[in-house]
Chain A
Amino acid sequence: MFDQIFNIFSALTLIKVIFLIVNGMYVGFLLVVYKQSRAMQAVVNDGTSSSLLNSIALLNVIIGISIFVAALIVL
């Protein structure tokens, strides 16, 4: 019984670690997306559309960091 609980606990810890690693890598990727979005806006500025895309890219980064923090606390 104790072994079984311990196994589940360690499995959950493993899932949490994997979750955080994957999410951390994804946030890194989103930062690249944001940087590229800004770089492309400097090359071609399509007015409000480009600004909107830039904002969405930044929002993605913020949400990614929020999920990372939430996973650290909740899981």
Chain B
Amino acid sequence: MPDIFVGNTLKNDNPKSEEITESKAEEKRKNKELKSIDLRKQIIEFEGNEGHSHNHLTTAYCERPLGVTFADRLENEELLLFLRKHFITNVPWIVSALALVISPFIFIAITQFGGLPINFLPPIYIFMILLLYYFFVVGFIFVNYLTWFYNIGLVTDKRIIDIDFSSLVFENVDATKLSQVEDVGYKQVGIIRSIFDYGDVHIHTAGPAANFEFLAVPHPERIINIINDLIGKVQHIHV
């Protein structure tokens, strides 16, 4: 009993020892924080390819892109992967646009050979109709490009985000935490997909959250490796 009493009085009488224990606790807390920062750094420092870091008008795959911002970004959330459909998937509408560009010339050639009579129209009418027609073609190209451009998949160090934009009036943004991702897989079927190295990435999530699909994205194998790596590290942090 006296020992305890003496101990208490010593502790109370010596504020320095209290400070020492407090500083030790603080040191421990700082060490813990540093460890968690190290783990976060490990997540971010996956095998980054510097060649992909610049984003431009035809980019379909970009690791740690520069200058990209998105809505509802969480605090300290870092964007790791920026995905769109492979640019080769735009070929069908590009071919259609080229056909639309050359079709007036074919039409004029037919009329010159006497197939269709449009001679009754004054030249200014023909010019204005052609002007409007080519304006339509520009609109067709622009809308198709915009649809491709804003169909985006994002992988951050915290979440997976799928942004869908189609038919100009439909926009849908889904997001899930990396901790909710259960399984990741990809499908690459066909010669063209094998040649240009693109495929569909499927991400299965736990619970009621929707499953994610990044369709026709470049380097699907690399993407699932990165996501698997992130999932593993996120789980490691949670443990």
* B48 on the A face (CB < 8 A): no
Looking across the interface, which residue of chain A has its beta carbon closest to that of B72? A43
Contact B69 A36 (CB under 8 A): no
Looking across the interface, which residue of chain B has its beta carbon closest to that of A57? B142
In angstroms, Cα B66 to Cα A60, docked, is 28
Q: Which residues of B contact A52 (CB under 8 A)?
A: 57
Contact B121 A56 (CB under 8 A): no
Q: Which residues of A contact B136 (CB under 8 A)?
A: 26
Chain B interface extent, by class:
35 or more
Contact A67 B132 (CB under 8 A): yes
Q: Which residues of B contact A49 (CB under 8 A)?
A: 55-57, 149
Contact B128 A47 (CB under 8 A): no
Interface of B, helix, strand, loop or mixed by DSSP: mixed
Contact A56 B132 (CB under 8 A): no
Interface membership of chain B positions 18-56, coded 1 if the CB is closer than 8 angstroms to chain A and 0 otherwise: 000000000000000000000000000000000000011
B window 166-210: CB within 8 A of A: 168-169, 171, 173
Interface membership of chain B positions 46-82, coded 1 if the CB is closer than 8 angstroms to chain A and 0 otherwise: 0000000001110000000011111100000000000
Contact of A45 among B70, B121, B169, B173 (CB under 8 A): B70
Contact B55 A63 (CB under 8 A): no
A window 31-62: CB within 8 A of B: 32-33, 36-37, 39-40, 42-49, 52-53, 56-57, 60
* B131 on the A face (CB < 8 A): yes
Q: Which residues of A contact B121 (CB under 8 A)?
A: 12, 15
Interface membership of chain A positions 19-37, coded 1 if the CB is closer than 8 angstroms to chain B and 0 otherwise: 1001100100110110011
Q: How many residues of A contact B (CB 8 A)?
A: 36
* B105 on the A face (CB < 8 A): no
Looking across the interface, which residue of chain A has its beta carbon closest to that of B67? A47
Looking across the interface, which residue of chain B has its beta carbon closest to that of A37? B146
* B116 on the A face (CB < 8 A): no
Contact B165 A40 (CB under 8 A): yes
Contact of B143 among A19, A33, A63, A64 (CB under 8 A): A33
Can you list 28 A-B contacts with CB-CB less than 8 angstroms, sorted by A residue number? A12-B121, A12-B125, A15-B125, A19-B128, A19-B129, A33-B142, A36-B165, A37-B146, A42-B71, A43-B150, A43-B171, A43-B173, A44-B150, A44-B154, A45-B70, A46-B55, A46-B67, A46-B68, A47-B67, A47-B68, A53-B146, A56-B142, A60-B138, A64-B135, A67-B128, A74-B124, A74-B128, A75-B125
* Pairs A-B, 9 closest by C-beta atoms: A47-B67, A40-B150, A45-B69, A44-B70, A43-B71, A36-B168, A49-B57, A44-B152, A46-B68
Q: Residues on B close to A: CB < 8 A? A: 55-57, 66-71, 120-122, 124-125, 128-129, 131-132, 135-136, 138-139, 142-143, 145-146, 149-150, 152, 154, 163, 165, 168-169, 171, 173
